[in-house]
Structure 1
């Protein structure tokens, strides 16, 4: 394992922890008197010293921005009036639209909506370096990309086709003797045109997939890459680790290769490979947290799981991605959990 591998994994971990800290800020501001919620937060805070560092960073940034009153019982109405007055001087179209929408609600509902909007704006600002900056880099690097809930089929110059799952980005580089695609993030299914003199390669971080002509799926996970073969033959390598990983996969086989080492192989039926192309999510003893990660690609807001123990529950089932919220509620019911819609942009999954 190289220093670069360590840096990649650490970067992913830091981003995940910062997002979790921001989610907790929203939840605690929303329901400051919920003792069970505070107990769950304390459990999260004490799990890892990095959690405390991320929490301090989120609080400091939000405080400097003066976007969140310091006490739960602060005068929100006075704060909102002041904030609206400051925005009116040079408010962009999006902010004007929000102000207009508020007038269509009762005073109580409008006040609550304004609170959500402002808290969401504060959290978005704290995540600029953790979320927006990497996303901007991906936008610059990508030749093709999809947004939330969007599936797109791309025809490449050699006749090969790539189906992009939601929130996926790829970079394409074809040379005289090699065809190369980089999966920047997300998941994609490849149907590769046969050309033995011009190998087709797909790279996902440390993992390289080499084919001559086949159909296969590549998924970029946190710290690993999963490759599943529908037909044909592929070579999956990770040369950054010692000992190096080199796996030959044929039709009906799948492997999850860690960027820092380790590989798990298993058989998979053809119908279970990239089921998202049919707007299906198929889980077989998969941790609930990973299943929720897949649902996030189809939901325009945020989904937060408040319990690490719940995130590890094994999920098995087939779910309709046309309605990710209904799928999430179905998964939660099967595990004695509940889904709360805190705002139109935030779903919270917690033990019942």
Structure 2
């Protein structure tokens, strides 16, 4: 649930942005994507945009954040025109819908397709959005891949190595003191002989949680400095180093293995980042205030939009689901 706040509501409690110019730009951003627009709406948008230089800057900034610069080009291309015949109006509407679809497609390509293609080229095993897969490794160890995750596997007579290219994985490792089991991720390398642990990796950090046994974690660029984890420990690795985190509830941090997402007192931005891996279309979080709100919950991972809708209600955010599943929270 959302953390309790002091009494006394502000203008932001309805989910609106503190800056009225940014809030108006958010309104136009969603209106121009959410429904087909007619010439009158486009004329109103242009009047608002040209009424103050700050309006144009705020809207253009949103299109950049949302990964949709094409939206700016499309809206600028529509000028106020006299009423057109019905046939022409329908053609204009079709052209607008085509342009919006192209914008959405380009956004998805930039955010999803290119990284996915890179992973396809190099991964030995991968999962699609919403899929979990258990694998038996050559030595008998078990690997469970979370949604939208990928690994490479390289076993030989000296070591057992798995590289987590993206996403999250849980390992149940068969003991073999002659061949260490190593998992490499974006910012860290985990070494074990026999244990059970999970590793999550994204562009910002790696997170390692030890369920049982013992693991050693080090950064590839500083192998001399290592940290040893005991059961229940959680560690994060970033470009700046290794940091031991407060011990989490094991049932929460490993809930994804059972198709659930349980979390407590987490920033909404972190929760949305996890749900993005379970939803096939982009999820845009366009308000820093609601992004920082701390929330708790336990949701099914096969219904990420249901989880988002519940969370939006908790923090007073507006949620809009666009064609193709693109979701905007503001």
Relative to the length of structure 2, the TM-score reads 0.74
Listed one character per residue, the Cα deviations across residues 16-50 of structure 1 (whole Å, up to 9, x for unaligned) are xxxxxxx9997463266687xx989955867xxxx
* Structure 2 match to 1:227: 208
Q: 1:313 to 1:176 in 2, by over 3 A?
A: same
The answer to whether residue 250 in structure 2 is matched with residue 270 in structure 1 is yes
Question: Which of the residues 298, 306, 311 maps onto 2:286?
Answer: 306
SS in 2 for 1:267: coil
- 2:147 and 2:56 map into 1 onto residues whose CA distance is 31
After the TM superposition, which residues 63-82 of structure 1 pair with which residues of structure 2 at under 5 Å, given as runs? 70-71=77-78, 81=91
Q: 1:25 to 1:43 in 2, by over 3 A?
A: closer
Q: 1:127 to 1:298 in 2, by over 3 A?
A: closer
Question: Which of the residues 311, 315, 324 maps onto 1:335?
Answer: 315
Question: For structure 2, which runs of at least 5 residues remain unmatched after alignment?
Answer: 1-25, 35-41
The answer to whether residue 297 in structure 2 is matched with residue 294 in structure 1 is no
SS in 2 for 1:284: strand
After the TM superposition, which residues 117-132 of structure 1 pair with which residues of structure 2 at under 5 Å, given as runs? 118-125=99-106, 128=109, 131-132=112-113
The answer to whether residue 325 in structure 2 is matched with residue 345 in structure 1 is yes
Q: 1:69 to 1:24 in 2, by over 3 A?
A: same
After the TM superposition, which residues 135-284 of structure 1 pair with which residues of structure 2 at under 5 Å, given as runs? 135-240=116-221, 245-284=225-264
SS in 1 for 2:77: coil
Measured after TM superposition, the shift of residue 217 of structure 1 is 0.8
Q: 1:72 to 1:169 in 2, by over 3 A?
A: farther
SS in 2 for 1:301: coil
The total of aligned residue pairs comes to 288
* Structure 1 match to 2:12: none
Relative to the length of structure 1, the TM-score reads 0.70
Measured after TM superposition, the shift of residue 268 of structure 1 is 2.2
- 2:27 and 2:188 map into 1 onto residues whose CA distance is 34
Is the Cα–Cα contact under 8 Å of residues 233 and 249 in structure 1 kept in the other structure? yes
- Higher RCO, 1 or 2 (CA under 8 Å, sep at least 6)? 2
SS in 2 for 1:236: strand
- 2:27 and 2:112 map into 1 onto residues whose CA distance is 17
- 1:259 and 1:345 map into 2 onto residues whose CA distance is 33
Measured after TM superposition, the shift of residue 330 of structure 1 is 1.1
Larger Rg belongs to: 2
Question: Which of the residues 299, 311, 319 maps onto 1:319?
Answer: 299
Question: Which of the residues 12, 30, 34 maps onto 2:33?
Answer: 30
| Aligned Cα root-mean-square deviation (Å) | 3.7
Measured after TM superposition, the shift of residue 343 of structure 1 is 2.3
Is the Cα–Cα contact under 8 Å of residues 215 and 229 in structure 2 kept in the other structure? yes
